[in-house]
Amino acid sequence: MAILFGGSILAGGDVLAQAVAANVANHYMIVGGVGHSTDALRDALRQELGWTDLEGRTEAALFDRYLRDRHGIRVDLLEQESTNCGSNVRNALAVLAAARIPHRRILIIQDASMQRRMDAGFRLHAPDAHIVNYAAHRTHVTQADGELDYSSPPIGMWPPARYLSLLMGEIPRLADNESGYGPAGHGFIAHVDIPAAVTSAYDALRAADIATPRTADKRWADT
């Protein structure tokens, strides 16, 4: 089973198309209702493809249209009710169970900034499944004239400030403490080990007021 999650940048659709072309799975699904990344996805489609009729459409519906229009591909299933990473996982598994589709091996494609959390969600809710991680992009950040920039950004890449905010926001979410999403906290995900070097870098960026973690939007619950 291969699943693309709607929190990805637009390039995630191309990654799923490559997976379909390579016949890596028996079934393909796109997961995503409306959440914190939906407006950014709509903006990317307006800028890249000139689409204008995007309001009210879910992330799964937008990626489904993108795959059909750009690659001539239709997936097997859409999940359009989830609003965050936690419900992404739970709803995806519920859809697969309802459709009686075997999912002992699951390839998950998510934005690079949220891939580790998505993996931890599946390890919690589908502990017997073999999870194969394939992030939608691996984008290198550079510096130009004192400002963050990218070398060869993929299609639909986040603005640098948003990307940094997403990356910073994952550290407290992945933490297995009373305020994090791990078992010792909210219990949304399985335990994740955060390397000391990552924690030190996070603390240094916060102390220098260089970057601010993305705050959770109450509209999307445990985002």
pLDDT (0 to 100) of residue 222: 56
Cβ 44 vs Cβ 10: under 8 Å: yes
pLDDT for position 212 = 84
CA dist., res. 124 & res. 142, Å (int): 35
Domains assigned to the chain: 2-133 (3.40.50.620), 144-217 (1.10.3620.10)
Look at the pTM and tell me if it is higher than 0.85. Answer: yes
pLDDT at residue 36, rounded to an integer: 87
Give the 3-state secondary structure of residue 3. strand
Determine the straight-line distance between the first and last CA of the chain, rounded to whole angstroms: 25
Mean pLDDT by 10 residues, the chain (223 residues): 96 97 97 92 92 92 96 96 93 97 96 96 97 95 87 92 92 95 95 96 91 77 58
